[in-house]
Amino acid sequence: MRFSGSKPKNKSKANKAAVLYRYAVLSLAGAFCLAFFFVYVMLSPVSSKNGSKEIVVAIPQQATAGTVGDILKKEGLVRSSLAFRLYTRWKNMDSRIKAGQYRLRSELSTPQIIAEMVDGRLAVQSITIPEGFNTTQVADLLVTQGLVDREKFISVVAGQEFSYSFLSSAPAGEKRLEGYLFPDTYYFSIGDSESAIVATMLNRFQREMEELGFAALAEKNGMTLHQAVTIASLVEREAMADEERPLITGVIYNRLKISMPLQIDATIQYALGENKPVIYYKDLEVDSPYNTYKHYGLPPGPIAMPGRPSLLAAVHPADTDYLYYVAKPDGYHAFATTLAQHNVNKEMYQR
């Protein structure tokens, strides 16, 4: 007798197992795709390039990946702090994130943000200190850029000790570093201290002095370094054209040689504490050692931060007999050897 139904039963079981296997595979594949899509979305940028925002975040020392993820989520820079933590752990980056302040954009993906912090690309602020600025103007500029606290900056300028030989004859007080915070473009990290910022500018000045051989050239001209920097600051505030700087320096040297008052309007502006477009006779009476109409010789110290051309001119005065100059409307000057010539120039150019 045949048992014809036995084989179909086994075949049915095999078919059922195959269906279950395919279902399991498809389910796993679907779950994987779903998980992949979820992770992809969670790691994607918070905003598009057009709607991107720039945010500065502070990562504390010894912060865990979870803490960093929470900070970034709170600031709107990542979609998920959990995804951030899992990704850094998967990539073995959770212990490589560096502390500091970072300038991050919301258009960055989570992996890009992690790369920024693992590489330690700290937030950097670019700032240009213009030639001719004084200490007060430098302080105000740094404050507007959010780089310093004004009171702390002035306190550092006035009182902190810096071991630079060129400061040995600088006057005490808030004007101590006048002329020595070299005008240039700097890149400061957000969070740099006032002391660090001042030291960076002084280091830049020292490098300039060494490159120019400034101290030796000043001595060759019978000047101390401080006096030469003071002259450079006067030239910086008086001249617009580089080719005229040595001529104006020559006028200053010539007047000093014959004990003639310098009578430089820029020193009056400095004494008044404002850059007045017009100097009146009453302004010339201001009671200040920086008033070069009332006091003979150089003022006590620089009145501005001189740039390289003015520093060069201060130790390379033109060989000239000029004793006078007057500004022309185009920014250049008319020079004269006698008062009579000077008066003619004034009549011609300062009507």
Across the range 247-274, mean pLDDT stands at 95
User: Domains in the chain, please, with CATH?
Assistant: 54-122 (3.30.1490.480), 125-212 (no CATH), 222-349 (no CATH)
**Residues 237/266, Cβ–Cβ less than 8 Å:** yes
Question: Between these two residues, 61 and 215, which has the higher pLDDT value?
Answer: 215
**Residues 234/269, Cβ–Cβ less than 8 Å:** no
C-alpha distances (whole Å) from 222 to each of 164, 249, 253, 264 are 21, 14, 10, 21
User: For residue 165, what pLDDT is reported?
Assistant: 87
Give me the percent of the chain exceeding a pLDDT of 90. Answer: 60
C-alpha 78/C-alpha 44 separation (Å) is 8
DSSP state of 54: E
C-alpha 275/C-alpha 283 separation (Å) is 12
C-alpha distances (whole Å) from 226 to each of 131, 201, 213, 254 are 18, 17, 14, 19
Answer yes or no: is pLDDT of 105 > 50: yes
C-alpha 240/C-alpha 347 separation (Å) is 21
The C-alpha angle with vertex 112 and arms to 50 and 30, in degrees rounded to 5, equals: 95
C-alpha 81/C-alpha 90 separation (Å) is 14
C-alpha 121/C-alpha 221 separation (Å) is 47
**Which of 51-55, 78-82, 122-126 has the highest average model confidence (pLDDT)?**
78-82
Question: Between these two residues, 20 and 150, which has the higher pLDDT value?
Answer: 150
Average pLDDT over the chain, rounded to an integer = 88
pLDDT digits (tens, 9 = 90+) for 282-333: 989 999 999 999 999 999 999 999 999 999 999 999 999 999 999 998 889 9
User: For residue 1, what pLDDT is reported?
Assistant: 46
Answer yes or no: is pLDDT of 28 > 80: no
Query: How big is the chain by its Cα radius of gyration, in Å?
Result: 35
**Residues 313/246, Cβ–Cβ less than 8 Å:** yes
**pLDDT band for position 261 (cuts 50, 70, 90):** very high
Q: Is pTM, for the whole model, over 0.75?
A: no
CB count within 10 Å of CB 64 equals: 13
Answer yes or no: is pLDDT of 2 > 80: no
Ranges assigned E (strand) in the chain: 54-59, 100-105, 124-128, 185-189, 324-327, 333-336
pLDDT digits (tens, 9 = 90+) for 114-157: 998 898 887 778 899 999 999 999 999 999 988 899 999 999 99
Question: Which residues contact residue 200 at a Cβ distance below 8 angstroms, ignoring those fewer than 6 apart?
Answer: 186, 188
Determine whether 121 is exposed, middle or buried from the number of CB atoms within 10 Å of its CB (0-12, 13-18, 19+): middle
User: For residue 33, what pLDDT is reported?
Assistant: 55
